[in-house]
Protein backbone atom coordinates (compact mmCIF):
# COMPACT_ATOMS: atom_id res chain seq x y z
CA UNK A 1 0.00 0.00 0.00
CA UNK A 2 2.84 2.35 0.87
CA UNK A 3 4.57 1.44 -2.40
CA UNK A 4 1.44 2.37 -4.33
CA UNK A 5 1.17 5.72 -2.56
CA UNK A 6 4.83 6.36 -3.22
CA UNK A 7 4.47 5.63 -6.93
CA UNK A 8 1.40 7.84 -7.11
CA UNK A 9 3.25 10.72 -5.44
CA UNK A 10 6.19 10.23 -7.82
CA UNK A 11 3.85 10.26 -10.81
CA UNK A 12 2.08 13.35 -9.51
CA UNK A 13 5.40 15.09 -8.96
CA UNK A 14 6.52 14.13 -12.47
CA UNK A 15 3.34 15.52 -13.98
CA UNK A 16 3.53 18.74 -11.99
CA UNK A 17 7.19 19.29 -12.77
CA UNK A 18 6.55 18.84 -16.49
CA UNK A 19 3.11 20.46 -16.72
CA UNK A 20 4.33 23.93 -17.69
CA UNK A 21 6.69 22.45 -20.26
CA UNK A 22 3.95 20.23 -21.68
CA UNK A 23 1.55 23.15 -22.03
CA UNK A 24 4.12 25.16 -23.95
CA UNK A 25 5.04 22.19 -26.18
CA UNK A 26 1.44 21.30 -26.98
CA UNK A 27 0.60 24.91 -27.85
CA UNK A 28 3.78 25.26 -29.91
CA UNK A 29 3.24 22.07 -31.90
CA UNK A 30 -0.44 22.95 -32.46
CA UNK A 31 0.44 26.33 -33.95
CA UNK A 32 3.28 24.92 -36.04
CA UNK A 33 1.11 22.13 -37.44
CA UNK A 34 -1.66 24.61 -38.30
CA UNK A 35 0.83 26.70 -40.24
CA UNK A 36 2.28 23.68 -42.08
CA UNK A 37 -1.22 22.55 -43.06
CA UNK A 38 -1.96 26.01 -44.45
CA UNK A 39 1.24 25.84 -46.53
CA UNK A 40 0.23 22.46 -47.94
CA UNK A 41 -3.27 23.74 -48.75
CA UNK A 42 -2.11 26.97 -50.41
CA UNK A 43 -1.87 27.47 -54.18
CA UNK A 44 -0.03 29.76 -56.55
CA UNK A 45 -3.09 31.98 -56.82
CA UNK A 46 -3.94 32.26 -53.12
CA UNK A 47 -2.20 33.52 -50.01
CA UNK A 48 -1.51 31.29 -47.04
CA UNK A 49 -4.55 30.94 -44.85
CA UNK A 50 -2.30 31.43 -41.78
CA UNK A 51 0.29 34.21 -41.35
CA UNK A 52 4.02 33.43 -41.08
CA UNK A 53 4.04 34.90 -37.57
CA UNK A 54 2.07 31.80 -36.48
CA UNK A 55 5.08 29.62 -37.35
CA UNK A 56 7.43 31.87 -35.39
CA UNK A 57 5.09 31.84 -32.38
CA UNK A 58 4.87 28.04 -32.52
CA UNK A 59 8.64 27.60 -32.71
CA UNK A 60 9.14 30.07 -29.83
CA UNK A 61 6.69 28.08 -27.70
CA UNK A 62 8.41 24.80 -28.54
CA UNK A 63 11.81 26.22 -27.56
CA UNK A 64 10.35 27.63 -24.35
CA UNK A 65 8.77 24.24 -23.59
CA UNK A 66 12.08 22.47 -24.05
CA UNK A 67 13.85 24.99 -21.80
CA UNK A 68 11.19 24.47 -19.13
CA UNK A 69 11.86 20.72 -18.88
CA UNK A 70 13.46 19.67 -15.55
CA UNK A 71 16.14 17.71 -17.41
CA UNK A 72 17.22 20.90 -19.16
CA UNK A 73 16.94 22.99 -16.01
CA UNK A 74 19.52 20.83 -14.27
CA UNK A 75 22.13 21.64 -16.95
CA UNK A 76 21.56 25.38 -17.34
CA UNK A 77 22.50 28.01 -14.76
CA UNK A 78 19.40 29.43 -13.13
CA UNK A 79 20.03 33.01 -14.31
CA UNK A 80 20.64 31.88 -17.88
CA UNK A 81 17.56 29.66 -17.75
CA UNK A 82 15.35 32.49 -16.56
CA UNK A 83 16.66 34.81 -19.25
CA UNK A 84 16.17 32.27 -22.02
CA UNK A 85 12.69 31.39 -20.79
CA UNK A 86 11.65 35.04 -20.60
CA UNK A 87 12.99 35.65 -24.11
CA UNK A 88 11.11 32.59 -25.42
CA UNK A 89 7.80 33.44 -23.79
CA UNK A 90 8.00 37.13 -24.74
CA UNK A 91 8.87 36.18 -28.32
CA UNK A 92 5.94 33.78 -28.46
CA UNK A 93 3.61 36.48 -27.11
CA UNK A 94 4.92 39.01 -29.62
CA UNK A 95 4.44 36.68 -32.58
CA UNK A 96 1.02 35.70 -31.25
CA UNK A 97 -0.08 39.34 -31.29
CA UNK A 98 1.47 39.85 -34.72
CA UNK A 99 -0.36 36.77 -35.96
CA UNK A 100 -3.65 38.07 -34.59
CA UNK A 101 -3.09 41.43 -36.29
CA UNK A 102 -2.28 39.63 -39.55
CA UNK A 103 -5.54 37.71 -39.34
CA UNK A 104 -7.46 40.96 -38.78
CA UNK A 105 -5.61 42.58 -41.69
CA UNK A 106 -6.52 39.59 -43.87
CA UNK A 107 -10.19 39.89 -42.92
CA UNK A 108 -10.16 43.58 -43.86
CA UNK A 109 -8.38 42.76 -47.12
CA UNK A 110 -11.05 40.20 -48.01
CA UNK A 111 -13.79 42.75 -47.31
CA UNK A 112 -12.05 45.35 -49.48
CA UNK A 113 -11.52 42.77 -52.22
CA UNK A 114 -15.19 41.74 -52.19
CA UNK A 115 -16.30 45.38 -52.42
CA UNK A 116 -13.87 46.16 -55.25
CA UNK A 117 -14.79 43.01 -57.17
CA UNK A 118 -18.49 43.84 -56.86
CA UNK A 119 -17.91 47.22 -58.55
CA UNK A 120 -15.76 45.60 -61.26
CA UNK A 121 -18.30 42.87 -61.96
CA UNK A 122 -21.15 45.36 -62.22
CA UNK A 123 -19.21 47.49 -64.71
CA UNK A 124 -18.28 44.45 -66.79
CA UNK A 125 -21.90 43.29 -66.72
CA UNK A 126 -23.14 46.69 -67.94
CA UNK A 127 -20.52 46.73 -70.71
CA UNK A 128 -21.57 43.21 -71.72
CA UNK A 129 -25.26 44.23 -71.90
CA UNK A 130 -24.36 47.21 -74.09
CA UNK A 131 -22.17 45.05 -76.35
CA UNK A 132 -24.94 42.49 -76.79
CA UNK A 133 -27.35 45.26 -77.79
CA UNK A 134 -24.72 46.67 -80.17
CA UNK A 135 -24.34 43.26 -81.81
CA UNK A 136 -28.13 42.97 -82.10
CA UNK A 137 -28.20 46.15 -84.19
CA UNK A 138 -24.87 45.94 -86.03
CA UNK A 139 -24.30 42.18 -86.30
CA UNK A 140 -20.95 42.20 -84.50
CA UNK A 141 -19.21 43.41 -81.35
CA UNK A 142 -17.05 46.52 -81.33
CA UNK A 143 -13.51 46.79 -79.96
CA UNK A 144 -13.86 50.55 -79.44
CA UNK A 145 -15.39 51.97 -76.29
CA UNK A 146 -15.90 55.28 -78.10
CA UNK A 147 -17.99 53.51 -80.72
CA UNK A 148 -19.88 51.67 -78.00
CA UNK A 149 -20.64 54.92 -76.16
CA UNK A 150 -21.89 56.54 -79.37
CA UNK A 151 -24.27 53.58 -79.75
CA UNK A 152 -25.38 53.72 -76.09
CA UNK A 153 -26.55 57.32 -76.49
CA UNK A 154 -27.97 57.14 -80.03
CA UNK A 155 -31.64 56.28 -80.79
CA UNK A 156 -30.78 53.02 -82.56
CA UNK A 157 -32.54 50.38 -80.45
CA UNK A 158 -35.80 49.30 -82.14
CA UNK A 159 -38.96 48.97 -80.03
CA UNK A 160 -42.19 47.47 -81.28
CA UNK A 161 -44.98 49.96 -80.57
CA UNK A 162 -48.44 48.46 -80.46
CA UNK A 163 -51.80 49.87 -79.34
CA UNK A 164 -55.16 48.21 -79.85
CA UNK A 165 -56.04 44.58 -80.50
CA UNK A 166 -57.58 42.70 -83.39
CA UNK A 167 -60.91 40.95 -82.80
CA UNK A 168 -63.52 38.92 -84.62
CA UNK A 169 -65.63 41.90 -85.76
CA UNK A 170 -62.69 43.16 -87.82
CA UNK A 171 -59.86 40.66 -88.18
CA UNK A 172 -56.27 41.63 -88.77
CA UNK A 173 -56.24 41.19 -92.54
CA UNK A 174 -59.34 43.38 -92.96
CA UNK A 175 -57.86 46.10 -90.74
CA UNK A 176 -54.77 46.27 -92.97
CA UNK A 177 -56.86 46.23 -96.17
CA UNK A 178 -59.12 49.06 -95.04
CA UNK A 179 -56.25 51.20 -93.70
CA UNK A 180 -57.14 51.03 -90.03
CA UNK A 181 -53.60 49.90 -89.09
CA UNK A 182 -51.64 53.12 -88.74
CA UNK A 183 -48.23 54.27 -87.51
CA UNK A 184 -47.63 56.35 -84.40
CA UNK A 185 -46.86 59.45 -86.48
CA UNK A 186 -50.29 59.21 -88.13
CA UNK A 187 -52.20 59.63 -84.84
CA UNK A 188 -52.19 63.48 -84.62
CA UNK A 189 -53.49 63.91 -88.19
CA UNK A 190 -56.27 61.34 -87.82
CA UNK A 191 -57.26 62.81 -84.45
CA UNK A 192 -57.55 66.25 -86.08
CA UNK A 193 -59.75 64.83 -88.86
CA UNK A 194 -62.07 63.37 -86.22
CA UNK A 195 -62.09 66.60 -84.23
CA UNK A 196 -60.38 64.92 -81.29
CA UNK A 197 -57.13 65.66 -79.53
CA UNK A 198 -54.24 63.20 -79.84
CA UNK A 199 -54.55 61.69 -76.36
CA UNK A 200 -58.29 61.11 -76.81
CA UNK A 201 -57.64 59.03 -79.94
CA UNK A 202 -54.85 57.08 -78.25
CA UNK A 203 -57.13 56.29 -75.30
CA UNK A 204 -59.89 55.14 -77.67
CA UNK A 205 -57.48 52.89 -79.61
CA UNK A 206 -56.23 51.40 -76.34
CA UNK A 207 -59.79 50.64 -75.24
CA UNK A 208 -60.61 49.17 -78.71
CA UNK A 209 -63.38 51.77 -78.96
CA UNK A 210 -62.42 52.62 -82.56
CA UNK A 211 -61.30 50.55 -85.52
CA UNK A 212 -57.85 52.07 -85.66
CA UNK A 213 -54.81 50.08 -84.42
CA UNK A 214 -51.27 51.37 -84.05
CA UNK A 215 -48.48 49.09 -85.21
CA UNK A 216 -45.08 50.73 -85.51
CA UNK A 217 -41.37 50.39 -84.77
CA UNK A 218 -39.95 53.21 -82.73
CA UNK A 219 -36.30 53.79 -81.92
CA UNK A 220 -34.83 54.65 -78.57
CA UNK A 221 -31.34 54.66 -77.06
CA UNK A 222 -29.79 51.88 -75.03
CA UNK A 223 -29.15 54.46 -72.31
CA UNK A 224 -32.82 55.46 -72.10
CA UNK A 225 -33.93 51.83 -71.84
CA UNK A 226 -31.26 50.59 -69.43
CA UNK A 227 -29.03 53.22 -67.82
CA UNK A 228 -31.35 55.97 -66.57
CA UNK A 229 -31.70 56.38 -62.81
CA UNK A 230 -35.33 55.22 -62.96
CA UNK A 231 -34.53 52.06 -64.91
CA UNK A 232 -31.66 51.17 -62.59
CA UNK A 233 -33.81 51.74 -59.52
CA UNK A 234 -36.52 49.49 -60.96
CA UNK A 235 -33.94 46.74 -61.47
CA UNK A 236 -32.43 47.38 -58.01
CA UNK A 237 -29.04 48.12 -59.56
CA UNK A 238 -26.53 50.87 -58.68
CA UNK A 239 -26.51 54.02 -60.87
CA UNK A 240 -24.39 54.03 -64.01
CA UNK A 241 -21.68 56.64 -64.46
CA UNK A 242 -20.58 56.59 -68.10
CA UNK A 243 -17.42 58.53 -67.23
CA UNK A 244 -16.14 55.64 -65.09
CA UNK A 245 -17.96 52.66 -66.65
CA UNK A 246 -15.04 51.46 -68.76
CA UNK A 247 -12.34 51.86 -66.12
CA UNK A 248 -11.02 49.44 -63.51
CA UNK A 249 -11.93 50.66 -59.99
CA UNK A 250 -8.63 49.23 -58.75
CA UNK A 251 -6.24 51.35 -60.81
CA UNK A 252 -8.33 53.61 -63.03
CA UNK A 253 -6.95 51.91 -66.14
CA UNK A 254 -9.40 51.20 -68.92
CA UNK A 255 -10.72 47.69 -69.31
CA UNK A 256 -9.02 45.75 -72.07
CA UNK A 257 -11.37 44.92 -74.95
CA UNK A 258 -10.60 42.48 -77.79
CA UNK A 259 -12.80 41.18 -80.60
CA UNK A 260 -12.35 38.54 -83.26
CA UNK A 261 -14.35 36.05 -85.33
CA UNK A 262 -14.72 32.36 -84.51
CA UNK A 263 -16.39 29.37 -86.13
CA UNK A 264 -19.59 28.13 -84.55
CA UNK A 265 -21.78 25.45 -86.10
CA UNK A 266 -20.18 26.14 -89.47
CA UNK A 267 -20.79 29.88 -89.24
CA UNK A 268 -18.36 32.74 -88.70
CA UNK A 269 -19.57 34.76 -85.73
CA UNK A 270 -18.28 37.75 -83.78
CA UNK A 271 -16.57 37.07 -80.43
CA UNK A 272 -15.43 39.38 -77.67
CA UNK A 273 -13.40 39.37 -74.46
CA UNK A 274 -13.29 42.23 -71.96
CA UNK A 275 -11.13 42.05 -68.84
CA UNK A 276 -9.80 44.07 -65.93
CA UNK A 277 -6.10 44.81 -66.64
CA UNK A 278 -5.27 45.44 -62.97
CA UNK A 279 -7.26 43.11 -60.69
CA UNK A 280 -7.40 43.85 -56.98
CA UNK A 281 -4.97 41.81 -54.87
CA UNK A 282 -1.73 41.68 -52.95
CA UNK A 283 1.74 42.33 -54.36
CA UNK A 284 3.72 39.30 -55.56
CA UNK A 285 0.62 37.10 -55.52
CA UNK A 286 -0.95 35.86 -58.75
CA UNK A 287 -4.43 37.34 -59.16
CA UNK A 288 -7.52 36.08 -60.93
CA UNK A 289 -8.51 38.57 -63.63
CA UNK A 290 -12.23 39.30 -63.81
CA UNK A 291 -13.44 39.08 -67.40
CA UNK A 292 -16.26 38.03 -69.68
CA UNK A 293 -16.29 36.46 -73.11
CA UNK A 294 -13.70 34.49 -75.06
CA UNK A 295 -11.62 34.85 -78.21
CA UNK A 296 -11.74 31.11 -78.99
CA UNK A 297 -15.43 30.43 -78.28
CA UNK A 298 -18.57 32.38 -79.08
CA UNK A 299 -19.87 33.14 -75.58
CA UNK A 300 -20.06 36.12 -73.24
CA UNK A 301 -20.01 34.30 -69.90
CA UNK A 302 -18.20 36.00 -67.02
CA UNK A 303 -15.62 34.13 -64.94
CA UNK A 304 -17.43 35.13 -61.76
CA UNK A 305 -20.52 33.52 -60.27
CA UNK A 306 -23.43 34.48 -62.49
Question: Residue 27: pLDDT band by 50, 70, 90 thresholds?
Answer: confident
Please check the confidence at residue 45 and state whether its pLDDT lies above 50. no
Residue that is last in its domain, among 79, 112, 145: 112
Once rounded to an integer, what is the mean pLDDT over residues 125-129? Answer: 96
Predicted confidence at residue 127, as pLDDT, reads 97
Report the C-alpha gap between 289 and 203 in whole angstroms: 53
Sign of CA dihedral 136, 138, 140, 141: negative
Please provide residue 289's backbone torsions phi and psi, each rounded to the nearest 5 degrees.
-85, 125
Number of domains into which the chain is organized: 2
Range of the domain at 107: 2-112
Res. 300: pLDDT tops 90: yes
pLDDT for the residue 219: 83
Q: Which residue has the higher pLDDT, 128 or 101?
A: 128
Is the pLDDT at 115 greater than 50, yes or no? yes
What is d(CA 138, CA 54) in angstroms, rounded to the nearest whole number? 58
- Helix (H, G, I), strand (E, B), or coil: what is residue 30? helix
Helices (H), 68-168: 70-73, 78-138, 145-153
pLDDT of amino acid 179 = 83
Give yes or no: residues 99 and 11 share one domain: yes
> Do 87 and 9 share a domain, yes or no?
yes
pLDDT for position 72: 64
The pLDDT of residue 41 is 65
In contact, 279 and 250? CB cutoff 8 Å: yes
The Cα 219–Cα 14 span in angstroms is 91
Quick check: is 166 in a domain?
yes
The verdict on residue 227 lying in a domain is no
Q: What SS3 class is residue 129? A: helix
Same domain flag for 64 and 164 = no
Clarify whether residues 91 and 16 are in a common domain: yes
Residue at 273 is within a domain: no
pTM: 0.59
Domain C-terminal end among 168, 195, 220: 220
Q: Which of 181, 196, 220 is the last residue of a domain?
A: 220
Amino acid sequence: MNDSNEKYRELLFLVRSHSFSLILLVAGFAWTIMYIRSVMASTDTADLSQPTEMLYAGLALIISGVLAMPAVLDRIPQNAYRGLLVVGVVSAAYFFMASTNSVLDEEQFLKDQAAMNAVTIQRLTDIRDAQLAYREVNGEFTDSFDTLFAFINAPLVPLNFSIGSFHDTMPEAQCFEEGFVIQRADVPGIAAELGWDEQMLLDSITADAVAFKVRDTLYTSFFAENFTAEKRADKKLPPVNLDSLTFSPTSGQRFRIDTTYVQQSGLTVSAIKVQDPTPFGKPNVKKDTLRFGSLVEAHTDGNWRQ
